[in-house]
C-alpha cells in the first residue's frame, strides 16, 4: 500500500515547498534558543530565587521599552526589512557577548549573568513572535489549521538538536563559541524567512508576495491601542496572561525543587538540560501522532482548552504527590501540550486579523503582555511561598484559574470562527473580519 504523504500531513503538493521552508525556519530559531537556555537558567539562579523574580520584572520593563521600537520598524519598513533588522540585532548581540567572554572573562559574574538572563528572555520572545507573525501573515486560517502543527515539528526538532549540538561542541569550541554557532543559526533562519516570503504556491490567492512590497504604516503604539479597543484581542491577551501565570507557577516550583538538591552550577545545568530534553521528546511524539489532525477535527476552541485541562489535572496531581518525578511528568506534559497543540491553535487566532495587528498587536501580546503575566505569576507565587503552604497553596489558585482559562478558550474559538465566516474564505487580510473583531464579537 502506497503511503500518501500529502494526506498524512494535510499538505497539498503545491504547498510543500513553503511549508518545508517554514519547518526549516522554525528549526533554526529553536535550535539557536535551546542550545543556550540551560546556561541562562543556571546563571539566573546564581543570585537566588528572589533575584529571579526581579529578573522577571526587568524583562517585562525591557519588553515594554522595546515594543514601540519594533512598532516603529513595522510602520516604516517593508516586511522582510523589519524581520531582517530583528534577527540581525540578536545575531549581533550574541557576537557581542562572545567578545565579552573572550576579551574580558573577569567581567563575567552575577550581574553580567543577570543581564544575559534578561537579554535571552527578550531574545526568546521576539524571535519566536516574529516567526509566528510571519506564519499567520503568510498562510490562511484554513491552511493554519492543517499544517501549523506540522510546522511546529520543525521547532521541536530544533529544540532537541540545539542542546545536543551544545553538548557536542561545548568542549571543542567552549561556551563562548556556542554563542557564535547560535548567531549563525539565526542568520540561516533569516535566509529561510526571505525564501518563504517570496515562494507562492500555484493558484494561491494569498497576499504574501504582493504585500512584501507594501509598508504597514501606522504608529509605534498601535498594537497596544488595538488590544485595548478590541474584545477579541483583549481576550487573546488575557489567555496569554493566564498561560504565563501558570507557566511561572510551574517554573518556580521546579526551581525550588532543583535548589533543594544542591547549589552546584554544573549539576543544575545538567538537570535543567535533561528536563528540557524529556519535554522536547514528549512534544515531538504528540506532534507526530495527533497534532497534525487534532485542530482540524476538534476545532480551535477545544484545542485551546486542552492546555487549561492539562494544567488543572497537573496541579491537582502535584499537590497530592509533591515529588520531583511528578513535577517532571507534569512539566513535560504541560510543555508538550503547550508547544505541540496549544501554540499552533493560538497562532491561528491571528490569521483573521489585519496585517498591522498580526505584527504590532501580536508583538505587544507575545512580549510585554506575556512578561506581565510572568511578573504577576512570580509575585503571587512568592506571596504564597511566604505563607509556607507549598504546592497546595499554588494549586488552590491554579485550579479555579484553569477553569476560567478553559472557558475563555472556548469563547475565543467561537469568536474566531464568526470572524472567519464573515469574510470570504477565511482570508487572512480580510478587512470586514478585522472590523468585526475591532467592534468585538458577541459571546
Q: What is the CATH number of the domain that holds 386?
A: 1.20.1250.20
C-alpha cell at 145: 489549521
Q: Are 361 and 233 in contact (CB under 8 A)?
A: yes
**Residue in the block written with cell 516604516:** 76
DSSP string covering 319-381, please?
HHH--HHHHHHHHHHHHHHIIIIIHHHHHHGGGGS-HHIIIIIHHIIIIIIHHHHHHHHHHHH
Would you call 12 exposed, middle or buried from its count of C-beta atoms within 10 A (0-12, 13-18, 19+)? Answer: middle
Indicate whether 4 belongs to any domain.
Answer: no
Query: Above 60 in pLDDT, residue 441?
Result: no
**CA angle in degrees (0–180, nearest 5) for 188-173-104:** 100
CB atoms within 10 A of CB 235: 22
Supply the pLDDT for residue 37: 76
What CA–CA distance (Å, rounded) separates 398 from 249? 8
Average pLDDT, the chain: 79
Q: State the residue range of the domain holding 313.
A: 15-199+213-439
Indicate whether 51 belongs to any domain.
Answer: yes
Provide mean pLDDT across the span 243-270. 73
What does the pLDDT look like over 120-153, one tens digit per residue?
888 888 899 999 989 988 888 888 877 888 888 8
Q: Which of 164-178, 344-358, 392-406 has the lowest mean pLDDT?
A: 164-178
- Write down the pTM of the prediction: 0.78
Indicate whether 190 belongs to any domain.
Answer: yes
Indicate whether 8 belongs to any domain.
Answer: no
DSSP string covering 42-86, please?
HHHGGG-HHHHHHHHHHHHHHHHHHHHHHHHHHHHSBHHHHHHHH
Query: Above 80 in pLDDT, residue 178?
Result: yes
Q: Are 437 and 351 in contact (CB under 8 A)?
A: no
C-alpha cell at 280: 522536547
Indicate whether 287 belongs to any domain.
Answer: yes
Residue 77 backbone phi and psi in degrees, to 5: -110, 160
**Residue in the block written with cell 512534544:** 283
Using pLDDT thresholds of 50, 70 and 90, give the confidence band for residue 245: very high
Indicate whether 122 belongs to any domain.
Answer: yes
Rg, C-alpha atoms of the chain: 21
Q: State the total domains in the chain.
A: 1
Indicate whether 286 belongs to any domain.
Answer: yes
What does the pLDDT look like over 101-114, one tens digit per residue?
777 766 666 666 77
Query: Above 80 in pLDDT, residue 213?
Result: no
Using pLDDT thresholds of 50, 70 and 90, give the confidence band for residue 219: low
Indicate whether 159 belongs to any domain.
Answer: yes
CB atoms within 10 A of CB 147: 26
Amino acid at each position: 500500500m502506497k503511503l500518501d504523504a500529502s494526506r498524512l500531513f494535510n499538505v497539498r503538493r503545491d504547498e510543500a515547498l513553503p511549508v518545508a521552508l517554514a519547518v526549516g525556519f522554525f528549526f533554526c530559531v529553536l535550535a539557536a534558543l535551546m542550545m543556550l537556555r540551560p546556561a541562562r537558567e543556571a546563571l539566573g539562579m546564581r543570585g537566588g530565587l528572589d533575584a529571579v523574580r526581579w529578573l522577571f520584572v526587568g524583562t517585562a520593563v525591557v519588553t515594554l521599552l522595546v515594543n514601540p521600537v519594533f512598532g516603529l520598524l513595522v510602520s516604516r519598513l517593508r516586511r522582510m526589512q523589519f524581520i531582517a533588522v530583528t534577527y540581525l540585532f540578536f545575531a549581533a548581540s550574541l557576537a557581542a557577548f562572545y567578545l565579552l567572554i573572550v576579551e574580558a572573562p573577569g567581567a563575567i559574574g552575577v550581574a553580567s549573568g543577570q543581564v544575559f538572563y534578561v537579554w535571552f528572555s527578550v531574545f526568546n520572545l521576539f524571535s519566536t513572535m516574529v516567526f509566528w507573525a510571519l506564519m499567520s501573515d503568510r498562510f490562511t486560517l484554513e491552511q493554519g489549521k492543517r499544517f501549523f502543527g506540522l510546522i511546529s515539528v520543525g521547532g521541536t526538532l530544533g529544540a532537541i538538536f540545539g542542546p545536543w549540538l551544545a553538548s557536542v561542541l561545548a568542549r571543542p569550541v567552549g561556551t563562548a563559541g556556542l554563542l557564535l554557532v547560535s548567531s549563525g543559526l539565526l542568520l540561516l533562519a533569516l535566509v529561510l524567512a526571505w525564501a518563504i516570503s517570496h515562494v507562492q504556491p500555484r493558484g494561491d490567492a494569498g497576499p504574501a508576495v504582493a504585500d512584501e512590497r507594501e509598508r504597514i504604516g501606522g504608529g509605534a503604539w498601535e498594537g497596544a491601542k488595538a488590544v485595548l479597543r478590541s474584545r477579541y484581542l483583549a481576550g487573546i491577551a488575557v489567555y496569554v496572561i493566564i498561560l504565563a501565570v501558570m507557566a511561572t507557577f510551574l517554573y518556580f516550583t521546579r526551581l525550588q525543587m532543583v535548589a533543594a538538591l544542591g547549589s552546584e552550577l554544573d549539576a543544575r545545568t545538567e538537570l535543567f538540560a535533561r528536563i528540557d530534553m524529556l519535554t522536547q521528546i514528549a512534544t515531538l511524539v504528540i506532534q507526530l501522532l495527533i497534532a497534525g489532525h487534532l485542530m482540524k477535527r476538534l476545532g480551535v476552541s477545544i484545542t485551546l482548552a486542552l492546555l487549561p485541562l492539562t494544567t488543572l489535572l497537573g496541579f491537582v496531581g502535584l499537590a497530592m504527590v509533591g515529588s520531583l518525578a511528578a513535577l517532571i511528568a507534569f512539566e513535560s506534559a504541560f510543555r508538550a501540550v503547550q508547544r505541540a497543540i496549544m501554540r499552533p491553535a493560538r497562532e491561528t487566532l491571528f490569521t483573521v486579523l489585519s496585517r498591522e495587528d498580526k505584527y504590532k498587536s501580536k508583538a505587544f501580546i507575545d512580549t510585554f503582555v506575556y512578561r506581565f503575566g510572568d511578573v504577576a505569576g512570580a509575585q503571587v507565587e512568592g506571596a504564597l511561598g511566604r505563607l509556607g503552604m507549598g504546592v497546595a497553596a499554588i494549586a488552590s489558585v491554579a485550579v479555579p484559574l484553569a477553569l476560567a482559562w478553559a472557558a475563555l478558550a472556548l469563547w475565543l474559538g467561537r469568536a474566531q470562527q464568526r470572524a472567519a465566516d464573515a469574510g470570504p474564505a477565511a482570508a487572512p487580510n480580510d478587512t470586514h473580519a478585522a472590523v468585526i473583531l475591532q467592534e468585538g464579537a458577541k459571546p
